[in-house]
Chain A
Amino acid sequence: DAGITQSPRYKITETGRQVTLMCHQTWSHSYMFWYRQDLGHGLRLIYYSAAADITDKGEVPDGYVVSRSKTENFPLTLESATRSQTSVYFCASSETLTDTQYFGPGTRLTVL
């Protein structure tokens, strides 16, 4: 089915471990985004990508790495997870930067 998917949906890891969250969209949207959502902070943009091999920082990029080798995939890596990265992570995609964004179901990450 067309849409945007995220995996895993739930993840528990330990401080210092590397974690990769996956995002896949089937619309061939140019833009893809990663957000984190925390109580009291709302949704904050981590990174976004305009096309394959083009990425840019958002509001809270520190501690995260992204890549986009294919248009449909946009993985987010926490190179050395910290407790402050415990959050719900949403991936989204859109045709243009200021177009409607369509969100994936989210990944709930807990860092112990």
Chain B
Amino acid sequence: QKEVEQNSGPLSVPEGAIASLNCTYSDRGSQSFFWYRQYSGKSPELIMFIYSNGDKEDGRFTAQLNKASQYVSLLIRDSQPSDSATYLCLLGGSQGNLIFGKGTKLSVKP
């Protein structure tokens, strides 16, 4: 069974630090990778997507994809208390299957 693994956390970082969130996956044919943020009681919202190996930056967020090692990560620079949420990775698989990780809860302490 194709799987997506995330550390459930909670991951606690001080304000201003870099938060590093990771996601490993088993389907080598995965083609699209997304990071969503979900605040408590709210629906998921897209932060970034990445399709190719390497880094992709958008403001304070950087997504990193390494298909050979089968992981995708999200770095949040200058973390703010408003970044405190659960971060979900979503993989679009080789056969059209879509699998979410269970999410990592991030807590940014002032």
Contact = CB atoms under 8 A, between A and B. Distances in A.
Contacts of A105: 42-43
Contacts of B103: 42
A43 interface: yes
Nearest to A97: B96
Nearest to B6: A42
Nearest to A43: B100
A98 B92 contact: yes
B71 interface: no
Nearest to B49: A100
B102 A40 contact: yes
B17 interface: no
Interface in B73-90: 88, 90
| Interface size range of chain A in the complex | 20 to 34
A104 B43 contact: yes
A97 B34 CA distance: 13
Interface residues on B, range: 20 to 34
B20 interface: no
A90 B102 contact: no
Contacts of A106: 42-43
A103 B32 contact: no
Interface in B32-57: 32, 34, 42-46, 49
28 contacts: A33-B98, A35-B100, A41-B102, A42-B88, A42-B100, A42-B102, A42-B103, A43-B44, A43-B88, A44-B100, A45-B98, A45-B100, A58-B98, A59-B97, A90-B44, A97-B92, A99-B32, A100-B34, A100-B46, A100-B49, A101-B46, A101-B90, A102-B46, A103-B43, A104-B43, A105-B43, A106-B42, A106-B43
Interface of B: 31-32, 34, 42-46, 49, 88, 90, 92, 96-103
Given A103-B45, A106-B42, 4 more contacts: A35-B100, A59-B99, A97-B92, A103-B44
